[in-house]
Structure 1
Amino acid sequence: MAILNDTTETTDLGLPLVERKTPADVGLETVLTESNIPYRSRLYLGACIEMKLLFRLALPAILVYLVNSGMNISARIFAGHLGSQELAAASIGNSCFSLVYGLMLGMGSAVETLCGQAYGAHRYDMLGVYLQRATIVLALVGLPMTILYTFSYPILLLLGEPKMVSCMGSLYIAGLIPQIFAYAVNFTAQKFLQAQSVVVPSAYISTAALLLQISLTWITVYVMGLGLMGIAYVLTISWWVIVVAQTVYITNSPRFRHTWTGLSWRSVQGLWSFFKLSAGSAVMICLEMWYSQILVLLAGLLRDPALSLDSLSICMSISALSFMVSVGFNAAVSVRTSNELGAGNAKAALFSTWTATSVSFVISVAEALAMIASRDHISYIFTADADVAKAVSDLCPFLAVTIILNGIQPVLSGVAVGCGWQTYVAYVNVGCYYIVGIPIGCILGFTFDFQAKGIWTGMIGGTLMQTLILLYVTYRTDWDKEVEKARKRLDMWDDKKKSLQK
């Protein structure tokens, strides 16, 4: 059986035909459809091909998300060494800014769908147009966010924050305003690169930016004495360093000579249609990010709020670290699914979906077992308080279930992004999280007095329902129809092709 056809035929872009797909890509679809190979052998060969592609995408993506989170964590650490009020101000600033982070990350997922499917279909020139169009839309969305953060001081006072913390927090937030537009460029560029399976350079750039941020923050705080504002300025500069580095790489690397052909007037066409497409992605991501934050807010209303907040914060920190692994597989399966659908490979898209879900599930089970084994000791990484350690130990079974569910649900969300189901998943999130999960958690936590365990049980119930729905939808998906939908979507967004049809 020949995995690749030996041909020198060229495409309309001047590329040799064998360069249109990597050997692994061609081999996966060919292996899965080769009737002369026994079924088990097909599964084994397909798994070998897919695992190599999957981990090549997932591992650098995990590093990128860990480093991006580390930039905010390092800012809080430096603020904490300045004083408790500075730490509170930085925590409020970063928490408030997570609204914009989720909004921009979610809207950038639309680029992942379109660019991934266009790349799989070899419509390379459209990737640069989608990149520019998305950047314009996200930048326009960022404008009202600047107004929100400009008036952060009265907003924080309205939310009941102390006057001094509100004042310091508003100054810190003001220093982060330029970061809004760095997000707008960064997430679109990141998805543009991921759609082409280019993830390692982003990992190098993000790591270098983190090291630069730590060094510059130390200088501004301890040498220049700029305090909290210095921390905010350096954090903003560090994000713009990532943006500039990615932009220079995309516009100058010969690797993207067919996907980036320079600025185009086509990018300003169809902005409203692109906004509507990306809005579903934004809602999907934001609803997921806010869900766990609401758990912490509800804990502050319990009988012993200090103990509940401390124990839940530790559990959420552990959950967030394990979640980064799943987010890496989320990015990887989104790229793999969209690429295969764009290329018309229905069986390969199906195989990629279940391979990524299975691998992430196995890893999450291992993480949960390791956490259960260390349940009596793990909290001492964060605190020396014995009461908090006991509370964390009691919550560990709930944390273990959450970790396992987080090993499946984000991967299925990545499949949704690759297929373009964002709006549907947004409706599922609203129903499962906010109509089922949170109300049940409040009833169990407050009415039946199960406290933190009751709230968490309700939240787990919402996540479990969402996971089961996504599993069922994915299982029932007709992948041949998804290939046709991807083709129609690309035709609709391909401005050049529409003009020819006219």
Structure 2
Amino acid sequence: MESQNNELHQPFLEPIQDGTGGGHGGSAELESVLSDTETPLMNRLLVASRIELNLLYKLAAPAVMVYLINNAMSMSTRIFSGQLGNLELAAASLGNQGIQLFAYGLMLGMGSAVETLCGQAFGARKYDMLGVYLQRSVIVLTITGIPITLVYVFSKPILLLLGQSPSMASAATLFVYGLIPQVFAYAINFPIQKFLQAQSIVAPSAYISAGALGLHLILSWVMVYKLGLGLIGASLTLSLSWWIIVFAQLVYILTSDRCKETWNGFSSSAFCGLWKFVKLSSGSAVMLCLETWYYQILVLIAGLLEDPQLALDALSVCMGVSALLFMVSVGFNAAASVRVGNELGAGNPKSAAFSVVTVTIVSFLISVVEAMIVLSTRHVISYAFTSGETVANAVSDLCPLLAITIILNGIQPVLSGVAVGCGWQAFVAYVNVGCYYVVGIPLGCVMGFYFNLGVKGIWSGMIGGTAMQTVILLWSTFRTDWNKEVEKASKRLDKWEANKETLLKK
């Protein structure tokens, strides 16, 4: 070894100097295996892989199910609305994909701040701080929900300003009004979800979401068809279903033995350091929103092409497939965030580095398989959405770009999860602005319009922005000094705990 910096690139080849860490949230066994230089390297890697894959599976599989089920609730609401007529379907889609998606991305992004802090606190055995972080996040997100509600209230003039017809704007606004309670369900649900994930408690959320989906389908049928409440009934049912998830998870936290150490009741210290929490939450929100809006802009730009109808039909099919498969990546995003946060909090730098490598490789391999399936079914995949042969041919033509996007989405969200686990949200937000909005979108417009490549040119340019972002995140992640990240995590937790103690003395 030439210097201490070699540990930067080979974090699991050299023994750490201060023991194995071994906080409850981290894996002392994994750190011990990676630090055992007397064992041959390949044997260490095989044993370490078995330990990490077991931990990863228990986190990622239920997390994928949670996000898929939540997505299915929203999709089923649009389906019920679509049975009322074409205007109702368009209104529900506009309200859901336009106004509601904005709130979802913002609130989920802000909820990732508690993911960083809870993950590291659990790894450091500072269990009482998890409940404080949960309450602090709920306070911040609930306050954030107030201005978001104003967007919902004034959605009709906003939609009219964006060029929507009066009939469409009125119908979409009616649907959006029923989603206002959902905003405050988000404010509580996302912090709870991250609070539980930080403790590797993921399966209960999956069971609760599955039960809520079944109840949601029954209630939607009653509200929309039996009671004749139409659009407002469909959206109110969706809001109610989210609140059912919230209350069920609260009951689990209050009654489960697994949360006894991390939930000690309401605390006044939750009001301490709110501004610092807001800054961390804002970075998370910007990071996620910039990613959420990126491909939505692709759809808007495609609507400016010479034959927008065909372009948008083909894109809607491809984006539907991409969104569904993206839920798998989001599950790995959550798993990566928890694993890295736990290991950093536990003082296990080698385990954190090894977790990053493992989750990235696994997610990448899964995305490659998904891309191969998409390419092999490129000529028939659109018939799940529409029977038009013209659209099927257009979708087939776009499938190679869809496959590339799927592969990139197998890496990029995982690295974003690592960033959340480390608390790098602000850095990733700057990277997203540069790669997505300074490079990707302008490049796509030039290729699509100036070089007359149409939707393929627009999408290719935006893929270029995503590829640049992925390379930057890979470079930043794999050159990280994980020993320093452990120190930063310890200082961050000490600072937050000091704030709590100061408030308690007062």
TM-score by length of 2: 0.94
Which secondary structure does the structure 2 equivalent of 1:82 belong to? coil
Q: Does 1:298 align with 2:301?
A: yes
Q: 2:23–2:345: 8 Å Cα contact kept in structure 1?
A: no
User: Runs of 5+ in structure 2 lacking a partner?
Assistant: 1-20
- The equivalent residue for 1:469 is 472
Q: 2:349–2:482: 8 Å Cα contact kept in structure 1?
A: yes
Q: Does 1:37 align with 2:20?
A: no
For residues 46-99 of structure 1, give each alpha carbon's deviation from its aligned partner in whole angstroms, at most 9, with x where no partner exists.
000000000110000000000111111000000110001111111111121110
- The equivalent residue for 1:384 is 387
| Counterpart amino acid of residue 40 in structure 1 | M
| Counterpart amino acid of residue 90 in structure 2 | A
Q: 1:113–1:338: 8 Å Cα contact kept in structure 2?
A: yes
Which secondary structure does the structure 2 equivalent of 1:401 belong to? helix
| Counterpart amino acid of residue 34 in structure 1 | D
Q: Does 1:21 align with 2:18?
A: no
Q: How does 1:216-365 map to 2 (within 5 A)?
A: 216-365=219-368
For residues 331-367 of structure 1, give each alpha carbon's deviation from its aligned partner in whole angstroms, at most 9, with x where no partner exists.
0010000000000000000000010000000000111
| Counterpart amino acid of residue 322 in structure 1 | L
- The offset of 1:138, in angstroms, is 0.2
Q: 1:179–1:236: 8 Å Cα contact kept in structure 2?
A: yes
- The equivalent residue for 2:443 is 440
Distance 1:500 1:380 in 2: 62
Aligned length: 484
Q: Does 1:168 align with 2:171?
A: yes
Higher mean C-alpha displacement, 265-274 vs 109-118: 265-274
Pick closer, same or farther for the CA change 1:453–1:492 going to 2, 3 Å.
Answer: same
Q: How does 1:26-105 map to 2 (within 5 A)?
A: 26-95=28-97, 96-105=99-108
Identity %: 62
- The offset of 1:463, in angstroms, is 0.3
- The offset of 1:19, in angstroms, is 10
- The equivalent residue for 1:8 is none
For residues 239-288 of structure 1, give each alpha carbon's deviation from its aligned partner in whole angstroms, at most 9, with x where no partner exists.
00001111111122221111000000000111111001110000000000
Q: 1:185–1:243: 8 Å Cα contact kept in structure 2?
A: yes
- The equivalent residue for 1:418 is 421
| Counterpart amino acid of residue 152 in structure 2 | Y
Which secondary structure does the structure 2 equivalent of 1:248 belong to? helix
Distance 1:441 1:19 in 2: 48
Distance 2:504 2:314 in 1: 61
Distance 2:463 2:384 in 1: 25
- The equivalent residue for 2:16 is none
Distance 2:168 2:368 in 1: 41
Q: 1:491–1:497: 8 Å Cα contact kept in structure 2?
A: no
- The offset of 1:37, in angstroms, is 1.1
Q: 2:269–2:503: 8 Å Cα contact kept in structure 1?
A: no
Which secondary structure does the structure 1 equivalent of 2:83 belong to? helix
Distance 2:154 2:323 in 1: 30
Which secondary structure does the structure 2 equivalent of 1:260 belong to? coil
- The offset of 1:496, in angstroms, is 4.0
User: Runs of 5+ in structure 1 lacking a partner?
Assistant: 1-17
Pick closer, same or farther for the CA change 1:340–1:19 going to 2, 3 Å.
Answer: closer
Higher mean C-alpha displacement, 171-180 vs 44-53: 171-180
Distance 1:357 1:162 in 2: 45
Which secondary structure does the structure 1 equivalent of 2:413 belong to? helix
Which secondary structure does the structure 2 equivalent of 1:149 belong to? helix
CA RMSD of aligned residues (A): 1.5
Which secondary structure does the structure 1 equivalent of 2:461 belong to? helix
Distance 1:271 1:157 in 2: 37
- The equivalent residue for 1:138 is 141
Q: 2:332–2:414: 8 Å Cα contact kept in structure 1?
A: yes
Q: 2:24–2:124: 8 Å Cα contact kept in structure 1?
A: no
Distance 2:327 2:255 in 1: 31
TM-score by length of 1: 0.95
- The equivalent residue for 1:400 is 403
- The offset of 1:499, in angstroms, is 7.1
Which secondary structure does the structure 2 equivalent of 1:367 belong to? helix
Larger RCO: Structure 1 or Structure 2 (Cα < 8 Å, ≥ 6 residues apart)?
Answer: 2
For residues 420-456 of structure 1, give each alpha carbon's deviation from its aligned partner in whole angstroms, at most 9, with x where no partner exists.
0000000000000000000000000011100001001
